[in-house]
Amino acid sequence: MLGVSPEVYTCDPMSLIPALQNYVSRAPLGEFEQSDWITLHSDLMSYVADYLIQKHGARWNIAQDSTTPRGYRYVIEATGRDGQTRRIDPADVVMKEFSSLPVDITRMLASAELTLRLASQAADGE
């Protein structure tokens, strides 16, 4: 996995950040075809989900969504620092990051953590 052993990654999912950042920073995004974007989106979506599951004990769940053909979507659910359970769609997290190129893996993960209230904001004073 980009030069990070499964054992190291399992103990610390953050260990993949430098290698993943190097990978996306060197990728010729300007030359990507649709299939390349889909592959990168899937890879990053998987990482966001797995990171949240391993680091914060999040879990996959199903959310009803009448805007999708199947009527639901898969989401990551976690209990925030305030005790509230929230959900995010990892696909949305990655798409938000794609709208702010260049891709920044740390920013993408922090955005997910803040949305789920798994980390405090600077204004929170914690």
Dump pLDDT digits (tens) for 60-73.
Answer: 999 999 999 999 99
Residues in Cβ contact with 18 at an 8 Å cutoff, skipping those fewer than 6 apart: none
| Chain segment 7-25, per-residue pLDDT in tens | 999 999 999 999 999 999 9
pTM above 0.85, yes or no: yes
- Could you give the angle at which helices 17-26 and 34-56 cross, rounded to 10 degrees? 170
Q: Are 75 and 63 in contact (CB under 8 A)?
A: yes
